[in-house]
Amino acid sequence: MKFYFRIAACSLIILLVHYLIIDLTVSAKFIIPLWKIYVFNFMSLSLMYLGLLINFNYNLLNHLYLFVFETTLKMIAAIIILRPLFSIDNSDLIFEVLNFFFLYFIFLFIEIISLRNILSKL
């Protein structure tokens, strides 16, 4: 449970800083709001962490296979979320996609750190 509070606090801090930076530097209006990107990343990270914890406790599947499966589902979900951007011809589109993947990799880094902490407990 401590993990969720740390991730939620980090997510909120990063969201506020990110929002302020974008608000002060770029006047672009995003198609996918910034808060939705953060909710997606936080929820996908939480579900992956929860799935791995359940798997570690009950040893249902190979841990690596489960991680690869969950990561694949997360990538498919990211593509589905970005789907409205595929049909738009806009100069701000590149910035929006880069914005999404920047956040995606921040949360991926957090995911890898948390996975390392879980594996160290085995």
Q: What are the residue ranges spanned by the domains of the chain? A: 2-120
pTM as predicted: 0.76
On the 0-12 / 13-18 / 19+ scale of CB atoms within 10 A, 94 is exposed
pLDDT digits (tens, 9 = 90+) for 84-122: 877 777 666 777 777 777 777 777 787 777 777 766 765
Confidence of residue 45 (pLDDT cuts 50, 70, 90): confident
Q: Measured at the alpha carbon of residue 21, what is the angle toward residues 109 and 9, in degrees to the nearest 5?
A: 45
Q: Which of 118, 81, 72, 120 is nearest to 100 (CA)?
A: 81
